[in-house]
Amino acid sequence: MEWFKRRGVTQVYESKTPVFTVSTPSTPELGIDFQTPPTPSRLRSLVGAFRRTRRAHPRAQPQPLPSSLGSIVVATVFGLRVPGARIHLAIQPHPRSPPLAVIELATTTGAFMADIASGPLNFVLQCATRGGTDAPPLWEEARWAQFCNGCVSGSARRRGGGDADAVDLRVIDMLEHVSFGAGILPDYFVGTGTGTGTGTGPVDLVYMRARYERVVRSKDAEVLSMLGSEVKGYPEISFNLIRV
């Protein structure tokens, strides 16, 4: 104050309110006293309230599927290790999203494991439907003729409906935390759905998940090439979807 008076300042406003205040947050709505340790009965009641809240607000449901894919997608190849079971291709925008399409290929699981060990695989899926501006996306086509490394392999089809959806979504849910890798899910239960294997006992499921570069050449031609893994200078696995 004396410093201001010596310099001719006659009025000095002195605030009696502190600039910063620190207070302990109160939570009367929760009824929790942080000063005294909670009793076991109190802990049980808090846990029960937390569980009731979780049941009242379940995990968020998946968002609606996007109408198009980006330049990088996640593709999962999986199949049961039983004679005659076919491998499947699931295409997703990202690992935790629902699959846009699940395609049952003509290649069996045993043949796929033998072929992938010998070199790169180049799949061509060709569908004979009319294109045009009103044509659906390629992954929504129902059936394809399949070629693998230049050889005719058979026919592939888009899966969906009933037990097929349930089995495919179960596999995707089990792999939602896997972004890249290959392995075996032991003792995967065989039911109606994945592959043509029969029986009711547990069998293993083989999977290979990776990020793929998606190149759209036209509305009737797309290429998916595996990223991060090359064999002899080529992607280890590539899928060519063509509409003719």
Residue 222 inside a domain? The answer is yes
Task: Using a pLDDT cut of 70, give the percent of the chain over it.
Answer: 63
Residue 94 inside a domain? The answer is yes
Coarse DSSP helix, strand, coil percentages of the chain, rounded to the nearest 5 percent = 20, 35, 45
Query: How much is the average pLDDT of 115-138?
Result: 84
Which residues constitute the domain of residue 85?
72-243
pLDDT at residue 188, as a whole number: 72
Return d(Cα 90, Cα 72) in angstroms, integer. 14
> How many structural domains are present in the chain?
1
Is the Cα dihedral 92, 215, 145, 79 positive or negative?
A: negative
Residue 92 inside a domain? The answer is yes
Residue 43 inside a domain? The answer is no
Instruction: Tell me which range, 50-59, 162-171, 185-194, 200-209, is most confidently predicted by mean pLDDT.
Output: 200-209
Residue 58 inside a domain? The answer is no
Query: How much is the average pLDDT of 213-231?
Result: 89
pLDDT at residue 21, as a whole number: 43
Residue 44 inside a domain? The answer is no
Residue 14 inside a domain? The answer is no
With contact defined as beta carbons under 8 Å apart, do 205 and 188 qualify? yes
pLDDT at residue 18, as a whole number: 45
pLDDT at residue 161, as a whole number: 57
Residue 18 inside a domain? The answer is no
Task: Tell me the pTM.
Answer: 0.67
With contact defined as beta carbons under 8 Å apart, do 101 and 139 qualify? yes
Query: How much is the average pLDDT of 76-91?
Result: 91
With contact defined as beta carbons under 8 Å apart, do 224 and 234 qualify? no
How far does the chain reach from its first CA to its final CA, in angstroms? 91
With contact defined as beta carbons under 8 Å apart, do 131 and 243 qualify? yes
Could you tell me where the DSSP H helices lie in the chain? 2-6, 40-56, 109-118, 163-174
